[in-house]
Amino acid sequence: MAVSRVRTLLTLVLGCAAAACAQPRADVAEAAPSMCTLRVIVALDTAPDAALLADLSRVSGARLELIRTMTSNLHLLALEAQGDDSECKAAMERLRSDPRVRSVDVDARRKIQ
Amino acid sequence: MRASSLIFGLASALAASGAFAQARLGPPGEENPAAHQPTTSAARLGDSPAMIVKFRSTGTSDRTQIQSAQGEGVAQGQAAPSSVVAKFAGRSGLAIREARGLLGNMHLLRIDPRAGESFQQQLERVRSDPDVEFAVADERRYPHLVPTDTLYSTQQWYLQNGAYTGAGADPTVATQPSAIHAQSAWDFGVGTSSVVIAVIDTGVLSSHPDLGSRLLPGYDFISDKDVANDGDGRDADATDAGDWITSAENSASNGKFTGCASPNDHEDSSWHGTRVSGIIGALSNNAQGVTGITWNTRILPARALGKCGGFDSDIIDAMAWAAGLHVVNVPDNPAANWAKVENLSLGSTEACPASYQSVVATLATMGVIVVASAGNENGPVDAPANCTGVVAVAGLRHTGTKVGFSSLGPEVAVGAPGGNCVNVSGGPCLFSIGTTTNDGLTTANNNIYTDQVNRINVGTSFSAPIVSGILGLMASANSHLTTAQLTARLKESATPYPVSSDPNAPPMCPTTNTNSECTCTTSTCGAGMANAENSIKDALRPIAVLTAPSPVSSGQNVTLSGVGSTVADGHTVATYLWQVVTGSASLTSTDQITTSLVAPDTGTIDVRFTITDDAGRQDSLDWTFQAITVTISPTTASVQAGGGTQTFTGAAQNATNAGVTYAVNGVAGGNTTVGTITPFGVYTAPTTVPSPATVTVTAASVQDPTRTASAQVTITAPPAPTTPPASSPPSSGGGGGGGALDLLGLLALVTLGRRFAPKWLRAYRAS
């Protein structure tokens, strides 16, 4: 996350130099890419070690981080993607299509009835 | 009418009776303290227990005979005047001390035991007589249990059998068809402490005096300390810390609890888990507050909901842990506390998530049944109630119609009272679901009860625990029932939804959303209205298991087995019975746990296996065999030698594999002598006519090659070559005679010269 912001800032700074800093500072802030985040419950055949998470991150195009292992083969992951909510959903779909992934659900809120 | 009603009533009582008092009373601490039943039943008072024996019908059942039989009685020590009893006594050699005619062919008999013979053995001896239809102990019965809990009669209409008579009852709506008849159910069992019902909810107030000893320690699964509202994440304290939402939290911009209450409003603590738990198992018959549906089952609080609900990741872990599965970083739930039933009065609108489906399926394999509320959005059934295998419960008004707020749909298993108020213009909420709660608006304060004025209690959240309680009673009565069997018997036992011909009656429930009262159907509100009495009686029935080889071929010697069949806890198997109910077959045994027969060559046979327990309760399963029938079409054909073909169509009926194989004269696929046939039934005649000229094409079932059908094929010689007739011209119509024209001769004639050609040929060429 921090690395990403540094890169973004660097890009903006370089861009600013190239464009002679024509834009006001407020516009610089708006140009920062938006991020979407979700907590997802993922069913996997094997425990999600660092290598598997890295591979699934590549497949999904989103950053994945293990929050905790739940019961059985379920794991609670944080999913972060660049873009709006639709990009997070698209990343979920890409994750679902991986043969090592049995299911992906949003960690939804339930209420008393 | 009276006689038939009496017959029905008595037969029902007999069928429902626990034959022996020790079977019904259970271990210390689990008997019903309200009944004050002696440990010795009436049948055992005195020196000779009595039994009720029904002899097989002689074919007459008119009222005269029934009444006549009732009049037959004898003084103690005398022979019974009833011919059937006298014959029975003579045949069996039993010393009948007392006989009194009851209804129809039933008699009360008191028999002197043989030396060392128990009453049970005496019963078995009587049952072995071929003229005896059944023999059961003459049990003592007690008035229906009415718990002493002070709020039972006024606040717990939903448990009762009859008309609502509580304060403020409106005489025009004073009946309550959706009430679950728990009061009658308790005569058959009040639950056992070995059955645990998990409440996956907001936690429970263990300080409530009407819950305390029913509660197991439980666990708090809420990971987010703000949602948990108890200062930390997961911990071993399942106490409800309160789930109130302040106005500031509700209206904060992008806060954790933004929008969790009505706009610009706040939300008081719900004490939801305490309310749910009280319905399932508030301390019963303690002259205080309310009674639970189960009186002895234990409640396992698994806290997964806090401020503004809770998340799937915590709820699923709570479900798994309660059932006995390991959850990382959480101490395992001790085996003695593993849940048999899990109640989820929670949800939201969504398709069933795969993660829930996975854990529900896993729990089912462990014998754990999940119950969930359908939802209060008056639309499609919420998740997780809509997951396969979950017992989804819709909310009903007291009249049995769907209560407006309840969600509905085909996923619903049964309906149960959800609370409704009737008085729309003020006045008490007459049909609130009375239960335990607390009066603290934020943190817990005084432990109290819901009421019909200030703390009304409505929602499908409270329909679900009613069904969880019923399932707890069922599982206590018969621990052998699988989750599928529990669900099936719960649904079978449900009372059909009332249908009114009144034009002003509520409309039939639509398959889509409706926020109005509507008349339930089985496709919108489940199988019917949950009925505790019927359910526990159905749970007490034995469980028949029937195994047979598969597939079975005609002529095969088939052994059918009832091994694995069981009876309810505390009961014994009285009889096994095998009957051919359709078709004809000879069974090697009719009263053993296995039997054998030869599968017939034709037709259908249906064999029924019935297991009966010592209380006369039964369960049956059928085994059906349909002999495979093979057809072939056409059944006769004539095919020309030298390449003539004929397509046959063969098929096997009553077979799981309808395919057939073909043979000619017994040779699979045929050969060049008799002709060949393809796997698709295309027969090709041989080059020359075989001897004999008729061959047999046979289609045989792939599944059972002994089942065949045949067709006769006559091979004909190809027609002999012919020459054109010398005195008559060929037909000019090009019809069937055209083939006789000898083209070679014709060409020869043309070659020889036109001048010599006959007139008819010139005419032919010119045409």
B101-113 per-position pLDDT tens digit: 888 788 999 888 7
Contact of A70 with chain B, judged by CB distance below 8 Å, is answered with: yes
Q: What pLDDT is recorded for position B91?
A: 83
- What is the Cβ-side half-sphere exposure of residue B763, based on CA atoms within 13 angstroms? 7
Q: What pLDDT is recorded for position B93?
A: 80
Structure tokens at B734: 């090009």
Q: What is the mean pLDDT of residues B549-562?
A: 94
Closest Cβ opposite residue B202 in set A74, A107, A112 = A112
Q: How far is CA B47 from CA B42, B80, B111, in A?
A: 11, 20, 10
Q: If you compute the radius of gyration of chain B from its CA atoms, what whole number of angstroms results? A: 38
Cβ count near B360 (within 10 Å): 24
- The answer to whether B667 and B689 have CB atoms below 8 angstroms apart is no
Q: What is the mean pLDDT of residues B530-542?
A: 97
Rounded CA-CA distance B758/B575 in Å is 101
ipTM of the complex: 0.74
Contact of B189 with chain A, judged by CB distance below 8 Å, is answered with: no
CA-nearest of A51, A109, A43 to B223 is A109
Query: Is B76 a residue whose pLDDT tops 80?
Result: no
Q: How far is CA B306 from CA A83, B159, B204, B310, in A?
A: 31, 29, 12, 6
Rounded CA-CA distance B697/B639 in Å is 12
Q: Please give the residue of chain B at the shortest CA–CA distance from A42.
A: B355
Contact of A12 with chain B, judged by CB distance below 8 Å, is answered with: no
Cβ count near B740 (within 10 Å): 14
Rounded CA-CA distance B373/B390 in Å is 10
Contact of B382 with chain A, judged by CB distance below 8 Å, is answered with: yes
- The answer to whether B531 and B494 have CB atoms below 8 angstroms apart is yes
Closest Cβ opposite residue B272 in set A104, A108, A112 = A112
B312–A113: do the CB atoms touch at under 8 Å?
A: no
* Domain B629-716, classified CATH 2.40.170.20, yes or no: no
CA B348 to chain centre: 27
Q: Please give the residue of chain B at the shortest CA–CA distance from A110.
A: B347
- A111: which chain B residues are within 8 Å (Cβ-Cβ)? 305, 308-309, 346-348
Rounded CA-CA distance A73/A44 in Å is 6
User: Which one-letter amino acid corresponds to residue A82?
Assistant: Q
Query: Is B173 a residue whose pLDDT tops 70?
Result: no
A107–B315: do the CB atoms touch at under 8 Å?
A: no
Percentage above 70 pLDDT, chain B: 82
Q: For residue A82, what is the enclosing H or E element?
A: strand A74-82
Query: Is B17 a residue whose pLDDT tops 80?
Result: no
Average per-residue pLDDT in chain B?
A: 85
When pLDDT is cut at 50, 70 and 90, the band that residue B744 belongs to is very low
A110–B348: do the CB atoms touch at under 8 Å?
A: yes
- B382: which chain A residues are within 8 Å (Cβ-Cβ)? 113
Query: Is B30 a residue whose pLDDT tops 80?
Result: no
Contact of A93 with chain B, judged by CB distance below 8 Å, is answered with: no
User: Which one-letter amino acid corresponds to residue A4?
Assistant: S
A111–B347: do the CB atoms touch at under 8 Å?
A: yes
Rounded CA-CA distance B764/B767 in Å is 5
Q: If you compute the radius of gyration of chain A from its CA atoms, what whole number of angstroms results? A: 18
Query: Is B315 a residue whose pLDDT tops 90?
Result: yes
CA-nearest of B6, B42, B24 to B119 is B42
Q: What pLDDT is recorded for position B84?
A: 82
- The answer to whether B349 and B382 have CB atoms below 8 angstroms apart is yes
Query: Is A22 a residue whose pLDDT tops 70?
Result: no
CATH of domain B557-626: 2.60.40.10
Contact of A7 with chain B, judged by CB distance below 8 Å, is answered with: no
Closest Cβ opposite residue A109 in set B272, B311, B354 = B311
Q: For residue B655, what is the enclosing H or E element?
A: none
Closest Cβ opposite residue B459 in set A70, A71, A113 = A113
Closest Cβ opposite residue B355 in set A69, A103, A113 = A103
Residue B280 burial (10 A CB sphere; 0-12, 13-18, 19+): buried
For B169-180, give the DSSP string: --GGG---TT--
Contact of B305 with chain A, judged by CB distance below 8 Å, is answered with: yes
Structure tokens at B93: 């050699």
Structure tokens at A56: 């699934």
Structure tokens at B213: 């000893």
Reported residue count of chain A is: 113
Q: What pLDDT is recorded for position B95?
A: 85
When pLDDT is cut at 50, 70 and 90, the band that residue B56 belongs to is confident
Q: What pLDDT is recorded for position B142?
A: 62
Domain ranges for chain A: 1-33, 34-107
Closest Cβ opposite residue A109 in set B270, B309, B460 = B309
Domain ranges for chain B: 2-137, 152-214+271-420+459-524, 557-626, 629-716, 739-766
Residue A23 burial (10 A CB sphere; 0-12, 13-18, 19+): middle
Closest Cβ opposite residue A112 in set B329, B346, B362 = B346
When pLDDT is cut at 50, 70 and 90, the band that residue B323 belongs to is very high
Q: What pLDDT is recorded for position B161?
A: 81
Q: What is the mean pLDDT of residues B161-188?
A: 72
Q: Are strands B95-101 and B106-112 parallel, antiparallel or unpaired?
A: antiparallel
- A75: which chain B residues are within 8 Å (Cβ-Cβ)? none
When pLDDT is cut at 50, 70 and 90, the band that residue B19 belongs to is very low
Which tens digit of pLDDT belongs to each residue from B481-522? 999 999 999 999 999 999 888 888 899 998 777 788 999 999
Contact of A41 with chain B, judged by CB distance below 8 Å, is answered with: yes
CA-nearest of B443, B620, B348 to A111 is B348
Closest Cβ opposite residue B345 in set A73, A74, A113 = A113
Instruction: Looking at the complex, report in whole angstroms how far the Cα of residue B605 sits from the nearest Cα belonging to chain A.
Output: 45
Contact of A46 with chain B, judged by CB distance below 8 Å, is answered with: no
For B535-586, give the DSSP string: HHHHHTS-B---B--SS--TT-EEEEE-TT-B--TT--EEEEEEEEEES---
Contact of B272 with chain A, judged by CB distance below 8 Å, is answered with: yes
SS3 B96: strand
Query: Quick one: B152-214+271-420+459-524 is in which CATH superfamily?
Result: Peptidase S8/S53 domain (3.40.50.200)
Which tens digit of pLDDT belongs to each residue from B203-241? 999 999 999 899 999 999 999 999 999 999 999 999 999
Strand partners, B620: B610
- The answer to whether B322 and B298 have CB atoms below 8 angstroms apart is no
Q: What pLDDT is recorded for position B713?
A: 97
CA B529 to chain centre: 15
Rounded CA-CA distance B450/B756 in Å is 125
Question: Do you find a cis peptide bond into B679, omega within 30 degrees of 0?
Answer: no
- What is the Cβ-side half-sphere exposure of residue A71, based on CA atoms within 13 angstroms? 27
Rounded CA-CA distance A74/A97 in Å is 17
Q: Please give the residue of chain A at the shortest CA–CA distance from B332.
A: A71
Percentage above 90 pLDDT, chain B: 67
When pLDDT is cut at 50, 70 and 90, the band that residue B48 belongs to is low
Query: Is B767 a residue whose pLDDT tops 70?
Result: no
When pLDDT is cut at 50, 70 and 90, the band that residue A2 belongs to is very low
A113–B347: do the CB atoms touch at under 8 Å?
A: yes
- B355: which chain A residues are within 8 Å (Cβ-Cβ)? 41, 43, 74, 103, 105
Contact of B463 with chain A, judged by CB distance below 8 Å, is answered with: no
Structure tokens at B531: 């009925």
Contact of A107 with chain B, judged by CB distance below 8 Å, is answered with: yes
Interface of B with A in 130-149 (CB under 8 A): none
Interface of B with A in 313-342 (CB under 8 A): 313, 315-317, 320-321, 325-329
Strand partners, B701: B660
State the count of interchain CB pairs (< 8 A) between A and B: 108
Which tens digit of pLDDT belongs to each residue from A40-82? 999 999 999 999 999 999 999 999 999 999 987 999 999 999 9
For B311-372, give the DSSP string: EHHHHHHHHHHHHT--BTTSPPPPGGG--SEEEE-EEBSSPPPHHHHHHHHHHHHTT-EEEE
- B199: which chain A residues are within 8 Å (Cβ-Cβ)? none
Lowest average pLDDT, out of A2-11, B319-328, B381-390, goes to: A2-11
When pLDDT is cut at 50, 70 and 90, the band that residue B44 belongs to is very low
Please indicate whether residue B660 or residue A24 has the higher confidence score (pLDDT). B660
Q: What pLDDT is recorded for position B499?
A: 86
Query: Is A28 a residue whose pLDDT tops 90?
Result: no
Q: What pLDDT is recorded for position B145?
A: 74
- B312: which chain A residues are within 8 Å (Cβ-Cβ)? 41, 105-108, 110
Query: Is B74 a residue whose pLDDT tops 50?
Result: no
Closest Cβ opposite residue B347 in set A69, A107, A110 = A110
Closest Cβ opposite residue B461 in set A43, A73, A112 = A112
Structure tokens at B720: 């002999």
Give B587's contacts (C-beta < 8 A, 6+ positions apart): B578, B580, B595, B596, B597, B607
Instruction: Looking at the complex, report in whole angstroms how far the Cα of residue A106 sits from the nearest Cα belonging to chain B.
Output: 8
Rounded CA-CA distance B307/B269 in Å is 9
Contact of A45 with chain B, judged by CB distance below 8 Å, is answered with: no
Q: What is the mean pLDDT of residues B722-734?
A: 54
Test mutation, A40, A44, A70, A71, chain B, max B CBs within 10 A: A71
Contact of B308 with chain A, judged by CB distance below 8 Å, is answered with: yes
- The answer to whether B314 and B181 have CB atoms below 8 angstroms apart is no
Lowest average pLDDT, out of B50-54, B436-440, B525-529, B586-590, goes to: B50-54
Instruction: Looking at the complex, report in whole angstroms how far the Cα of residue A89 sits from the nearest Cα belonging to chain B.
Output: 15
A113–B382: do the CB atoms touch at under 8 Å?
A: yes
Phi, psi of B627 (to 5 degrees): -60, 135
Q: What pLDDT is recorded for position B163?
A: 56
Rounded CA-CA distance B416/B110 in Å is 45
- The answer to whether B347 and B382 have CB atoms below 8 angstroms apart is yes
B309–A110: do the CB atoms touch at under 8 Å?
A: yes
A112–B362: do the CB atoms touch at under 8 Å?
A: no
Test mutation, B275, B313, B315, B329, chain A, max A CBs within 10 A: B313
Q: Where are the alpha helices (DSSP H) in B331-480?
A: 354-365, 463-477
Tell me the CATH architecture of domain A34-107.
Answer: 2-Layer Sandwich (3.30)
When pLDDT is cut at 50, 70 and 90, the band that residue A16 belongs to is very low
Rounded CA-CA distance B707/B699 in Å is 9
Instruction: Looking at the complex, report in whole angstroms how far the Cα of residue B393 sits from the nearest Cα belonging to chain A.
Output: 12
Reported residue count of chain B is: 767
